[in-house]
Amino acid sequence: MVYTEIKEINGKKYYYRVLSVRKNKKVGKKRIYLGVDLEKKKLEKSESLADEKLLSLNHILTKEELDILDKIKEEYRKEPKETLDNRYESFCSLFTHDSTAIEGNTLTLQETANLLFENRVPPSKSLREINETLNHKKAFDYILNYKGEITKALILKLHELVVKDTLKENLTSQIGTYRKVQVFIRGTNWLPPKPEEVPGEIGSLLGWYTRNKKILHPLVLSAYFHVAFETIHPFVDGNGRTGRLLLNFILHKNSLPMINIPNTKKLKYYECLEEAQVKSNLKPIIRFLFDLIKEQKLRF
């Protein structure tokens, strides 16, 4: 994705905004020169201008789509308070079921709802699957009650909640921490960053988020953040669930209804993610999320 590169020459710092484009197993780069020895405010302004040139994020949504999203936001604001608890239970069940099912959990939607809200444990399901389901609700409730911004602490806390009591014994030391090993993503031909690169990559993403959270439309902001987070793949496990929680946190914080990605659309979801990760083309994933938020009847 996009990051800032610094080159020191004869005691001076030269700044470049860099867009990484993956093709097969190779990574190509597009650079825009920002300036030399820049102060923080000047650097941030230059980075934002360069991002616009590299990604054109402000122009991905059409006026018609923006109008539709404004209408959805207004309709969502008018949802009756009397149905809030009902909508919460329905969306929590659906979101938990699909987000865990995407990762291989076999509980049905009805089994998920019964477990989360009636404490009825389904028979013939593994303890790991039960814990994955219960954990997801705890993490979901956490973001609903969290009033701050996205920080490293929030990301690590969500990971801890998501994967507690689900990892193999040799991986439990990496709960709530960035991964200490190289990971590989099944079905792709590119590698996430090396473990020693993860803290810096997440730091750059958080910096990007801070600069753009009041500039970009929340749907575009959440889509970019989600793609970048999944590209970094900061954890040994639980990246998808944590990433989808963060995506919805951004939407919720900006007074838009949350998005559930159905397990039945998993392949399309992965295709759109890879298009963004490999070619830095965010249009498919943004269109995918736009269609979901437009079509969904349950708004929470």
- Same domain for 287 and 271, yes or no, is yes
* Domain annotation covers residue 234: yes
Q: Which two tokens stand for residue 101?
A: 């099912």
Residue finishing a domain among 36, 54, 72: 54
Q: For helices 152-163 and 198-212, what crossing angle results, to 10°?
A: 120
- The Cβ of residue 47 has, within 10 Å, a number of other Cβ atoms equal to 22
pLDDT tens sequence across 181-203: 999 988 777 789 999 999 999 99
- Same domain for 270 and 244, yes or no, is yes
- Same domain for 30 and 174, yes or no, is no
Q: Which two tokens stand for residue 64?
A: 């018609």
Residue 101 sits at φ, ψ, to 5 deg, of -65, -35
Whole-number percent of the chain with pLDDT over 70: 96
Tokens 């239970």 sit on residue: 89
Ordered DSSP codes for 235-265: SSS-HHHHHHHHHHHHHHHTT-------GGG
Residues of the chain with pLDDT under 50: none
> What is the distance between the alpha carbons of residues 281 and 273, in angstroms, rounded to a whole number?
9
- Same domain for 260 and 199, yes or no, is yes
Q: Which two tokens stand for residue 125?
A: 């399901």
Average pLDDT score over the chain: 93
> What is the distance between the alpha carbons of residues 123 and 39, in angstroms, rounded to a whole number?
61
> In this predicted structure, what is the pLDDT of residue 170?
94
> What is the distance between the alpha carbons of residues 254 and 219, in angstroms, rounded to a whole number?
9
* Domain annotation covers residue 300: no
* Domain annotation covers residue 199: yes
- Same domain for 17 and 62, yes or no, is no
* Contact in structure between 34 and 42 (CB atoms under 8 Å): no
* Domain annotation covers residue 271: yes
- Same domain for 240 and 121, yes or no, is yes
* Domain annotation covers residue 117: yes
pLDDT tens sequence across 214-244: 989 999 999 999 999 999 999 999 999 999 9
| Partner residues linked to 3 by β-bridges | 18
Tokens 């013939």 sit on residue: 124
- Same domain for 49 and 61, yes or no, is no
> What is the distance between the alpha carbons of residues 219 and 90, in angstroms, rounded to a whole number?
22
- Same domain for 66 and 42, yes or no, is no
H runs (alpha helix) in 8-151: 40-55, 63-77, 84-102, 109-118, 127-145
CATH number reported for the structural domain that contains residue 263 in this entry: 1.10.3290.10
- Same domain for 183 and 34, yes or no, is no
* Contact in structure between 111 and 93 (CB atoms under 8 Å): no
Sorted by sequence, the CB contacts under 8 Å of residue 249 that are 6+ apart come out as 143, 146, 150
Q: Which two tokens stand for residue 121?
A: 């444990």
Q: Which domain holds residue 42?
A: 1-54
Tokens 């020693």 sit on residue: 196
- Same domain for 40 and 71, yes or no, is no
Sorted by sequence, the CB contacts under 8 Å of residue 21 that are 6+ apart come out as 27, 28, 29, 30, 278, 279, 280
- Same domain for 34 and 156, yes or no, is no
- Same domain for 60 and 41, yes or no, is no
> What is the count of structural domains for the chain?
2
